[in-house]
Amino acid sequence: MNLNGCILSLIVFAPLAGALLVLLLPSRKDSKLVHMVTLGITLVLFLMTLHLPAHYVYGGNGFQFEQNTPWIASPAIRFHLGVDGLSMWLMVLTGLLAPLGVIASWKAPAERARYFFSLYLVQQTAIFGVFAALDLFLYYGFWELSLVPMALLISGFARSSNGTRAAVRFFLYAFIPSALLLVAMIWLYAKTGSFDYATLHQLAASHAIAAAPCALLLASLAFLLAFAVKVPIFPLHGWLADAVDEAPTAVVIVLAGKLGLYSILRFMLGIFPDQARIVAPYVVALAVISILYGALLAMAQTNFRRLAAFSIVSHLGFVMLAIFSFTQTATSGAIYQVLSHSVTDAAFFILLGLLFERYGTNEISRYGGLAIKSPWFATLFVITALSLIGLPMLNGFVGEFLILAGSFSVHPAWTSAAALGVILGAVYVLRLVQRVFYGELNETLPAAPDLLLREQLALWPVAVLMLAMGVASPVWMRAINEYTQAAATHFTPIAMNVLAGGVR
Amino acid sequence: MNSLDMMRLLPEVILILTGVTVMLLEPFLPAAASRKPLGWIAIAGTLASLAASFSQLHQAPGTAFYGMVSVDAFSIYFHLLIAMVLLTTLLSSLEYFDEHTTHAGEYFALLAFACSGMMLMTSAADLLLVFIGLEISSISTYILAGFRKTEGTSAEAALKYFLLGSFATAFFLYGIALLFGATGSSNIAGISAGLATGPTPVLAILALAMILIGLGFKVSAAPFHVWTPDVYQGAPAPVVGLMSTAPKAAAFAVLLRITYGALPTLGHGWTQLIAILAAASMTIGNLGALQQRNVKRMLAYSSIAHAGYLLVAFTALSQEGIAAASFYAAAYAAMNIGAFTLITHFAGYKEELQTIDDYTGLARRSPVLAAVFGLFLLSLIGIPFTGGFFGKFYVFTAALHSGLVWLAIVGLLNSGLGCFYYLRLLVRLYSTPDRVEEMRPTPKLTVPLAIAVALAAIATLVLGIVPGHVLHLAQAAAATYSAIAK
């Protein structure tokens, strides 16, 4: 049976069906039935996403596994799904993180587990949908849909009483720029008569969207703003620390980064290539500020979840820097870094979540000398930390190296400043490892076991993956490079002064 | 008058006969007997009226009663909408008054009369007939607003509604008179023909202003919205569900008929006035709702904001704009009546749940109903794959097609503002209550109420996920009018 024609629909809607199934399960106290079923669903989902790389045709142009049927006649909206080198591995990544999130939420209270896991599965549908949708309307649908389960999970399963505030703040930060995004999308439709990504991409590449340059620039800024908030980049990161502090681990690992960065690469650069070049200097500046400011804030934190939140701002700044350098090397590095950072960050947050579960505090100063009591915990934590600071042989290095190498030729000064962020990153991460796991054993800590078998089973494959992504990057790079090559040859920017003149 | 004329008015006639039957039957019931059978008669009548409207879809459009009534795709669309709202309201209030009021039969009759008036408004081609329809519907709803006779707030609501409402109706009537003075006709087509040539008389501009005030009150557009929160707070919840959807849809239909049908030559004047009304309604409605703790008051302000979104579609001056306004009226009706049906159920006759805090932890007691309530709130916010989103999307598409970028930005930023208070309620539903033992047990869900909720929920989802059919009807309705050249 040939699944290629419907695999994307299956992947996108299977979690939704799973959510309904979970809701129908009987709920009993002290029963892990709901957890087991959700884990089963997400594992099947992961296997389904592996279908994509297995059947991906290298050298085939454009989108693959496409599905394209009319949905609404007027306004012209199509149900159009498809993946290419940019989104394929992101789909697989989402599939991988799904079961990890379930294992990270194993302690979810049994009486509310159905509610938790059904929202969690709806969230998976939204994320898969964002990566696969090629119709702007459909894409926007999934993009907004992803907010609801996230906000409800943050408010309903927060760590403290501030959860509702953090959730509402997260929602507003994301929703209001999205409203402007919708205006820009509809405006684009009014100008071109199409919501289809391929059509718009083609029009933009030949500079054929009939609109005033100034209006186009404003529309592109609406796109950029909505996406940059979700990354987040300085100064739009106000929601992140609170949300990360309150949210359950399963939500944190998909909260930041890939959705926003993917959207910038696909829609901002794909539909507004000329405008992206106009705003690039400003975005690069903000990206470097994010890198340094995020790192400095991370160094000042006493709470390790907040430290991790600011480290996200810092690390994703590198990706933004690379995207807006427009070199093929840097863009490949950016995409690779999105993948590898998501993997590393997932492991990092799962470990931090486990620490909180065991010892009931996020304060770094309450810890100390845990390596003696929990050697396995320490081992995995150190591997993750090293990957996070970009040690060669581990996954973080590949992306970071490509980013810095690719951006240097375009922005030497900014890239040199950004490189400082690498050093600062090493400082706060290694200091965290040192204070939590080494030094004097803090006797006030309650007794708690080392990593359990279930946790080891979840985390070791991730650690192996970090190593594999560090030494065998071509496996992933092959598809990514195809995308970046196509993007580079497809588009020739018109002379900068012409554009600038038009804007003025 | 001939039999075809009666056929044209069949949906209205059926409803009026239903109301009369219910009133005639009530005295024969013993005082202590349940009034539910009367409710079922009303439901049967509504279904018959709905069927009559559907059958009109397959007839050629035309006029009746010497051009007083016009049955076309536009009127049928709103007939169907009003009948659906009435059906949901009847189902949801079948139990509501039974134990508390002796004259529940009157209630069902008044609902039928009110809706027949609204239907008449949407199919009237003559402004005098519009006025008669408006009065039939208004007088019925004044009484309905006061139907929780034992509660003081309900009487206050009815009195306020009556005083301000009759004042606004007078404005509307004055507008009709001035238009007659300006053109010598009270017929929509006649007015349009009278204004087609020569300079626009000042009287017509004054008349437009008067009509906008009158109808602005009926749709609770700012600055004519002041009555809304008090009336919605005091009136019985099922009546508010009806009041916030069907009469508004009817008033919007009349406004569409007058603006696009009778006054296309004044297009440039009213489009600017309505744009201002729209921006003001959205902003005032949302800002007002932000400050409310009482759920019914909050939804009252939110209905002001939604009237604003709908008015945005008017300003597009295109057929797409009419279709968008019609579609939004349906989407808003589905989600709002759903929300009020659930409030009816949760709060009960005494309205024991009032503030947002009272709704804390509702999801623990009735998870399914809370989830459906959540769906309606998400649709009111405008989250994709719900009717509320597609309605908003379509309205702003129409506005942007006509180049109204500023209004679209104001509108969508407002929807960002709006999401805050809906979200506050939604989050409350799912948070943990402080004192579990004090929570009021949720009443048992009856079958008619469940059907009402399911109707509204299915409509909300269908309008969001597969809007094709309704969109087709709305576009056919819009084709009754022609776009106004800029």
Residues A316-354 pLDDT 10s? 999 999 999 988 999 999 999 999 999 999 999 999 999
Cα A421 to Cα A415: distance, rounded to the nearest angstrom: 10
Pairing of strands B69-71, B62-64: antiparallel
Q: What's chain A's average pLDDT?
A: 88
Q: Do B427 and A168 touch (CB under 8 A)?
A: yes
Nearest to B430 among A72, A74, A152 (CB): A152
HSE of B238 in the Cβ direction (CA atoms, 13 Å)? 26
A496 touching chain B per CB within 8 A? no
Residue-wise pLDDT tens digits, A463-477: 999 999 999 989 999
Question: Taking the alpha carbons of A224, A227, A232, A238 in that order, is the dihedral positive or negative?
Answer: positive
Q: What is the mean pLDDT of residues A172-195?
A: 90
Q: Do B400 and A176 touch (CB under 8 A)?
A: no
Nearest by Cα to B379 from B471, B439, B446, B302 = B302
In this structure, the dihedral spanned by the alpha carbons of residues B27, B30, B35 and B41, taken in order and rounded to 10 degrees, is -50
Q: Which residues of B touch A178 (CB under 8 A)?
A: 416
Side chain identity at A44, as an amino acid letter?
A: V
**Residue of A290 and A361 predicted with greater confidence:** A290
A34 sits in which H/E element? helix A33-55
Asked whether residue A303 carries a pLDDT value surpassing 80, the answer given is yes
B357 touching chain A per CB within 8 A? no
Under DSSP, the state recorded for B459 is: H
Cα A418 to Cα A288: distance, rounded to the nearest angstrom: 6
Asked whether residue A502 carries a pLDDT value surpassing 50, the answer given is no
Question: Taking the alpha carbons of B97, B100, B105, B107 in that order, is the dihedral positive or negative?
Answer: negative
Cα B4 to Cα B302: distance, rounded to the nearest angstrom: 42
Report DSSP letters for A129-167, one per residue. Answer: HHHHB-BHHHHHHHHHHTHHHHHHHHHHT-SSTTHHHHH
What ipTM goes with this model? 0.88
B223 touching chain A per CB within 8 A? no
Nearest to A175 among B409, B416, B468 (CB): B416
Nearest to A186 among B397, B419, B431 (CB): B397
Q: What is the mean pLDDT of residues A178-199?
A: 91
Domain ranges within chain A, ordered by starting residue: 7-503
- Residue B30 has a pLDDT of 84
- Residue A500 has a pLDDT of 45
A222 touching chain B per CB within 8 A? no
Which residue in chain A is spatially nearest to B324 when comparing CA positions? A75
- Residue A504 has a pLDDT of 36
Q: Which residues of A touch B394 (CB under 8 A)?
A: 75
Neighbours of A467 (CB within 10 A): 14
Question: Taking the alpha carbons of B269, B272, B274, B277 in that order, is the dihedral positive or negative?
Answer: negative
Which residue in chain A is spatially nearest to B386 when comparing CA positions? A141
Nearest by Cα to A274 from A500, A30, A488, A106 = A500
Cα B353 to Cα B293: distance, rounded to the nearest angstrom: 11
Q: What is the mean pLDDT of residues A259-273?
A: 92
A357 touching chain B per CB within 8 A? no
Give A1's pLDDT tier (boundaries 50, 70, 90). Answer: low
- Residue B109 has a pLDDT of 94
**Residue of A496 and A296 predicted with greater confidence:** A296
Question: Between chain A and chain B, how many beta carbons pairs sit less than 8 Å apart?
Answer: 85
- Residue A501 has a pLDDT of 42
Residue-wise pLDDT tens digits, A383-412: 999 999 988 889 989 999 999 999 998 899
Q: Do B415 and A179 touch (CB under 8 A)?
A: yes
Intervals of chain B under pLDDT 70: 1, 98-102, 433-441, 486
Cα A452 to Cα A456: distance, rounded to the nearest angstrom: 6
CB A110 within 8 A of CB A147: no
Asked whether residue A445 carries a pLDDT value surpassing 70, the answer given is yes
B378 touching chain A per CB within 8 A? yes
A212 touching chain B per CB within 8 A? no
Q: Is the peptide bond before B448 cis (omega within 30 degrees of 0)?
A: no
Residues 6 or more apart whose CB falls under 8 angstroms from that of A471 comprise A393
Q: Give the pair of three-digit tokens for residue B264.
A: 């296309």
Q: Which residues of B touch A75 (CB under 8 A)?
A: 394, 397
Residues 6 or more apart whose CB falls under 8 angstroms from that of B10 comprise B49, B52, B56
Scored b (16 or more CB within 10 A) or e, B459-473 reads bbbebbeebeebbeb
Asked whether residue A503 carries a pLDDT value surpassing 50, the answer given is no
Q: Which residues of B touch A175 (CB under 8 A)?
A: 416, 419
CB B19 within 8 A of CB B110: yes
Which residue in chain B is spatially nearest to A116 when comparing CA positions? B430
- Residue A497 has a pLDDT of 44
B416 touching chain A per CB within 8 A? yes
Burial class (CB in 10 A: 0-12, 13-18, 19+), A150: buried
Side chain identity at A174, as an amino acid letter?
A: A
Q: Do A186 and B423 touch (CB under 8 A)?
A: no
Which residue in chain A is spatially nearest to B415 when comparing CA positions? A179
Which residue in chain B is spatially nearest to A192 when comparing CA positions? B401
Domain ranges within chain B, ordered by starting residue: 3-478
